[in-house]
């Protein structure tokens, strides 16, 4: 199955972001992708954190959800909408939700980001919990590719990457990591954490990132990539918008897991 990790540099215009996302999804489809993963906050990077609340959508209703459904159906591929803000019962907090739509445009999964990022080095400060409500449910979905092979796809978002136990719980052959890693933390930890999750779980990793300088002044690390179950980077783009394409094969998963059966050797769970 060919997959695509889509990299963006999203701005403050919802319409412009969706237009750019569609352009990149079309490139992914033209390249033969059956699964395309957009980055975290693909639809919107506001001037301040509270701006997320203004565009938060209700379940099953909204421009971004319609966009994802239409794009998946029209392009005939599974689309994972990195994240978008979804309304909660608390008007002061939204869920940071990753939604998956199949090639018929039907929503097949929703994952709400469990781990909320907080960082303060004296110059940069982030606290997602100020406007986001954490999810509490590890989530995966099944995807059958054109060859008839069924894949278990495990979902995560950005800061989740630092919590290995989540990925062990998912027990998937493909792990998704849409993200908006900061330049500071990304340059230090992004690739090593992604490769570790691939190696530990003997699974493919599709990491779609924000990558560049945004209108709000934030700089994200980028380096979207696809990694195989042995930890090898199959394809990568450092900065700027683009589509990272790679072929994944269940035979490779089985080969790695048979040659080094570490998943069978786990004692502490």
Residue 157 confidence (pLDDT): 98
Residue 187 confidence (pLDDT): 98
Residue 268 confidence (pLDDT): 85
Give the span between the Cα atoms of 132 and 182, in whole angstroms.
18
200 is annotated as an active-site residue = no
The 3-state DSSP class for residue 27 equals helix
The dihedral of CA 152, 158, 160, 163: what is its sign? positive
pLDDT in tens, 91-137: 999 999 999 999 999 999 999 999 999 999 999 999 999 999 999 99
- Annotated active-site residue in 113, 128, 133, 173: 113
> What does residue 17 show for φ and ψ, rounded to 5 degrees?
-65, -45
CA 269 to chain centre: 25
- Annotated active-site residue in 2, 20, 34, 40: 40
Q: Which residues of the chain have pLDDT under 70?
A: none
215 is annotated as an active-site residue = no
Helix or strand (DSSP H, E) at 168: helix 164-170
- 240: burial class by Cβ within 10 Å (0-12, 13-18, 19+)? exposed
Domains of the chain are 2-265 (3.60.110.10)
Tokens 């909408």 identify what position? Answer: 81
Residue 139 confidence (pLDDT): 98
* CB-CB contact of 80 with 100 (8 Å): yes
**Helical axes 63-75 vs 14-30, angle rounded to 10°:** 20
Q: What is the 3-state secondary structure (H, E, C) of 109-136?
A: EEEECCCCCEEECCCCEEEHHHCEECCC
Query: What is the pTM for the complete model shown?
Result: 0.98
40 is annotated as an active-site residue = yes
The token duo for 87 is: 């309304």
pLDDT in tens, 56-72: 999 999 999 999 999 99
- Annotated active-site residue in 34, 43, 52, 158: 158
* CB-CB contact of 212 with 182 (8 Å): no
Contacts of 268 (CB under 8 A, 6+ apart): none
Q: How far is CA 140 from CA 50, 124, 176, 228, 238, in A?
A: 29, 33, 10, 19, 28
Residue 127 confidence (pLDDT): 95
Which segments within the chain are labelled E, that is strand? 2-7, 35-37, 78-87, 94-101, 107-112, 118-120, 125-127, 132-133, 140-144, 150-155, 174-176, 204-207, 224-227, 233-237, 242-247
Residue 8 confidence (pLDDT): 98
Residue 102 confidence (pLDDT): 98
* Rg value, the chain, Cα: 17
Residues in the chain: 269
Tokens 């004296």 identify what position? Answer: 122
């Amino acid at each position: 199955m060919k997959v695509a990790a889509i990299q963006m540099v999203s701005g403050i215009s919802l319409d412009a972001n969706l237009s750019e996302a569609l352009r990149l999804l079309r490139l992914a489809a033209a390249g033969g992708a059956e699964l395309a993963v957009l980055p975290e906050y693909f639809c919107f990077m506001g001037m301040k954190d509270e701006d997320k609340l203004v565009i938060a959508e209700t379940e099953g209703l909204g421009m971004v959800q319609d966009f994802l459904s239409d794009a998946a159906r029209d392009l005939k591929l599974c689309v994972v909408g990195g994240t978008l803000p979804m309304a909660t019962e608390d008007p002061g907090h939204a869920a940071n939700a990753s939604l998956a739509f199949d090639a018929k445009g039907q929503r097949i999964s929703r994952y709400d980001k469990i781990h909320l990022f907080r960082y303060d080095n004296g110059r940069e400060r982030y606290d997602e919990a100020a406007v986001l409500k954490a999810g509490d449910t590890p989530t995966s979905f099944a995807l059958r590719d054109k060859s008839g092979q069924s894949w278990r796809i495990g979902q995560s978002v950005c800061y989740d990457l630092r919590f290995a136990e989540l990925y062990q719980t998912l027990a998937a052959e493909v792990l998704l990591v849409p993200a908006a890693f900061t330049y500071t933390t990304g340059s230090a930890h992004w690739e090593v954490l992604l490769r570790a999750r691939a190696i530990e779980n003997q699974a493919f990793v599709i990491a779609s990132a924000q990558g560049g300088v945004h209108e709000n002044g934030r700089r994200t690390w980028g380096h979207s990539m696809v990694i195989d179950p042995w930890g090898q980077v199959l394809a990568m783009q450092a900065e700027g918008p683009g589509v990272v394409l790679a072929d994944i094969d269940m035979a490779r998963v089985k080969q790695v897991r048979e040659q080094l059966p570490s998943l069978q050797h786990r004692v502490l769970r």
